[in-house]
Structure 1
Amino acid sequence: MASKIVWTVPLAALCLVGNWSAAFADTSDVKGPATLIVAKSGEHCKDDPNCFNRIHYAVKPVAHAMPGQLFVLETRDGLDSDLNFESTAADVAAVDLNRCHPLTGPVYIEGAKRGDSIAVTVVDIAPDDFGTTTVVPGFGFLRDVFPDPYIVHWQLNRLDARSKDMPGIAVPNNAFMGTVGVLPDKPELDKWLKREKALAEAGGQVLTPQPVEALPADLCGVDGTAKDECVRTVPPRENGGNIDTNQTVVGTTLHFPCFIDGCGLFAGDVHFAMGGGEVAGTAIEMGAKVTLQAKVIPGGASRLSTVHFEGGSQLKKLAPSSFYAVTGLSLKPEGELPIFDTYLGGQKIAPLANLSEDLTLAARNATLNMVDFLVKTKGLTREQAYVLTSVAVDLDIAQVVDVPNMGVTAILNRDVFVGQQP
């Protein structure tokens, strides 16, 4: 009876026998569809043909992406600044705010038409090595309480942000695009200009068109053909823009209505981390490489009056393992007129100690209470506490029905304290 021969040759050897060339192959040699790179160049937005800082329907696309194609936007920090590890508060005071926000794009999404929408998934955000949190005079939620310039320098990696200016603190990486949106068409732009002009004339806080340092210069600059129509990037609008929504991290999908063909997608002002509210006016600001993927939804704009977004377990990942919260109500000292209400006049408001259904006042008080708590319990200066509140404290609406006092909580992520009892 013939015996059977049992082969015990290793799998790797069999692979060699089957195909000698496979011995030298590696999975890194296997490539998918080409990724579109929208690169940055030059020191500032003005030096970069892929960058702009005003919103107008005539801004030309700098790249075209197919639905489903991965594309990378190389972005700059939101101030388009020269700040570095040696920068001082005086350098912050010298920053030209006419240059914010530098935006990469717009990208024309093939097949998208006005009336459609696009679903944009955040695939990856690769941070730069350096970031800042600044207090800019005249800007921020507590701009009357913190009128002086201030800066914290952050060393960044994929895990956390640390700073010699904030010893004992490590802020987890929860990066997202502070500014992301699509271009309007003329009807939308005309509507925005009309309502913002009316608010400015009433004394409200509005940044009206400003052609100084505006880009693209031939359209929005001092000699631009549409210099009085190019709106600023600071406020979010129906097209998205400066939404500053810290839940829109990697893995989430944002939905934008398309107002023009190609939609005109742009992004910038990336934050390494931000507390809900961004109370100091800045988060941990950085440049980054943002990888996105877009899908066209025919007729989808009819379901969107503003930006929508969705995701999976991202909110669970954002939740701290340990927290401490303070509250704020719609209360104030008699005779004081809150800075955000000055344009309404103070005849009725100023004498009152209690305002009715005022969430902004409640949020202000929650922020002030958190600053006080951090100073008293963590030994931080008031400026350090303000910065930490801006990057690691979430303002959250508690209730909007218990008249007259609306309730807001400020929730501190105690995970940021390294080697300390929470």
Structure 2
Amino acid sequence: MRHQLKSKLIWALPVAALFVIFCAGAALADTSSVKGPAPVVIAKSGEHCKDDPNCFNRIHYAVKPVAHVQPDQLFILETRDGLDSDLNFQSTPEDVAAVDLNRCHPLTGPVYVDGAKRGDSIDVTVVDIAPDDFGTTTIVPGFGFLRDVFRDPYIVHWNLNRLEARSKDMPGISVPMNAFMGTVGVLPDKPELDKWLKREKELADAGGAVLTPQPVEALPADLCGVDGTNKDECVRTVPPRENGGNLDTKETVVGTTIHFPCYIDGCGLFAGDVHFAMGGGEVAGTAIEMGARVTLRAKVTRGGAAALPTVQFEGGAELKKLAPSSFYAVSGLPIKQKGDVPVFETYLGGKKIAPLANMSEDLTLAARNATLNMIDYLVKTKGLTREQAYVLTSVAADLNVAQVVDFPNVGVTAILNRDVFKD
């Protein structure tokens, strides 16, 4: 448990020491003009989400708030890694295979924003993210963009600080900290929840990849668990929805403001699954996963939900800070071998798809090919194993839509941050 103790020491550093760290490269949002009550801390306790009254892992309008904050008041969420796991520096691939995905994602909250009503919106500014000192990137069997290619468990253990991630499993590689909340959102009300349940059941009935309500390991247990009062209505946290949730949007770093529609009074803000860094696409299914201490501030906009069909966000120079000084890119097109049916299209049936070598306007297939091409590049030019290359692509390469008009061959590029190669 050494890394947990060290993290507490990092968070408890005196103000002068933190000032030195921030000046060395880590960012804080400007709060100089904000005055008001002391920050509210929503602390974590216990080994797992089930041991923590401030933690839950299913979405339902009846999840009760654990704290109240005033508009413009700073509040701090202590979060767990997205798998709610026991993974540590000694963990093995076998430990990864044993991870129970029913536990993800452990979320801190919900937080009731005073004065917010259904129909309003809240504007949530990311003020600071303090990382734990340990993180992982894993390949979990059956999960990830290339789950049909990478079938065996794998783990990379990362040493983290406010500047970079390093790993003995990835020698010569340094990934810069660009932390963000992988999961952040607000609670729905009954009309929204009913709509989600209906459309996801229809997709499941059609054979699509979707996670329907699962009460095993579900929290809050009295609401969503095996004996819960609403166990068949508690939706999973894996897909993002109109309320936000598992957005996995790497641009929502410190300094950005995220706009959420409010469906219930108080809005019910929650967050978790914080990533130290992630490539656009998170292709392995995980980024650099970590626990963290997230500082936020929320404002209320009256009637703002009408302008938000889904979550939106804005910022200043944050995108420039994310840009690498050097890059290498590969491309992907919607081309495949005759006879193949891509795993993400099997539910549509293979009668038309299998005989084709060229798919029409298929961005997902183009992205898959760009990912495979980047893995091949890293294996051939950097001497990485295929698993290492998959992990590095997941944490340091961005899938980018090149164009959507040159039918049938829409294009996707995978852009690698070459700054990560240090030794």
TM normalised by structure 2 equals 0.92
- For these two proteins, the number of residue pairs brought into alignment is 391
The yes-or-no answer on 1:350 pairing with 2:371 is no
Asked if the contact 2:36–2:73 (Cα under 8 Å) also holds between the matched residues in 1, the reply is no
Residue in 2 that maps onto 1:13: none
Q: Distance in 2 between matches of 1:98 and 1:367?
A: 27
User: What residue is the counterpart of 1:167 in the other structure?
Assistant: 171
2: distance between equivalents of 1:197 and 1:178? 25
Match of 1:291? 295
Equivalent of 1:180 in 156, 181, 184: 184
| CA distance, structure 2, for counterparts of residue 379 and residue 107 of structure 1 | 47
CA distance in 1, matches of 2:387, 2:100: 22
Residue number in structure 2 paired with 1:9: none
Secondary structure of 2:289's counterpart equals coil
Residue by residue over 1:249-269, the C-alpha shift from the partner in whole angstroms, topping out at 9 and shown as x without a partner, is: 000000000000000000000
Q: C-alpha distance in 2, partners of 1:221/1:176? A: 29
> Which amino acid letter does the alignment assign opposite residue 247 of structure 2?
I
Distance 1:364 1:263 in 2: 37
Shift of 1:33: 3.1
1:388 equivalent in structure 2:
392
Give the Cα–Cα distance (whole angstroms) in 1 for the partners of residues 212 and 118 of structure 2. 26
Q: Does 1:324 align with 2:349?
A: no
Secondary structure of 1:193 counterpart? helix
2:124 is aligned with 1:120: yes
SS of residue paired to 2:138? strand
Q: Which residue of 2 aligns with 1:248?
A: 252
Corresponding residue SS for 2:381: helix
Task: Using the aligned pairs only, state the percent identity.
Answer: 84
Partner of 2:6: none
Which residue of structure 1 lines up, in the alignment, with residue 225 of structure 2? 221
Structure 2 residue 339 is the aligned partner of structure 1 residue 335: yes
Q: What residue in structure 2 maps to residue 20 of structure 1? A: none
Per-residue CA distance 1:305-327 (angstroms, 9 max, x = gap): 00000000000000000000000
Q: Which residue of 2 aligns with 1:130?
A: 134
Give distance in 2, aligned partners of 1:64 and 1:317. Answer: 33
1:88 aligns to 2:92 (yes or no): yes
- TM-score after normalising by structure 1: 0.92
- 1:264 paired residue number: 268
Once the two structures are superposed, residues 269-310 of structure 1 have per-residue CA deviations (whole angstroms, 9 ceiling, x without a partner) of: 000000000000000000000000000000000000000000
Moved runs in structure 1, 4+ residues, more than 2 A?
none
Structure 2: state its 5+ residue gaps.
1-15, 19-34
Q: Distance in 2 between matches of 1:129 and 1:379?
A: 28
Structure 2 letter corresponding to 1:275: G
Q: Which residue of 2 aligns with 1:21?
A: none
Q: What is the distance in 1 between the residues matched to 2:126 and 2:412?
A: 30
1: CA distance, partners of 2:50 / 2:232: 19
Structure 1 residue 406 corresponds to structure 2 residue 399? no
SS across alignment from 2:202: helix
Which of 189, 195, 201 is equivalent to 1:197?
201
What per-residue deviation string (whole Å, max 9, x for no partner) do you get for residues 104-148 of structure 1?
000000000000000000000000000000000000000001010
The amino acid across from 1:99 in the alignment is R
1:7 maps to what in 2? Answer: none
Aligned-partner SS, 1:286 = strand
Q: Deviations over 1:356-389 (max 9, x none)?
A: 0000000000000000000000000000000000
Counterpart contact for 2:242–2:309, Cα < 8 Å:
yes
The equivalences for 1:53-132 within 5 A come to 53-132=57-136
Return the letter of the residue paired with 2:228.
Answer: G
| CA-to-aligned-CA distance 1:21-61 (integer Å, 9 cap, x gap) | xxxxx9x9xx9631100000000000000000000000000
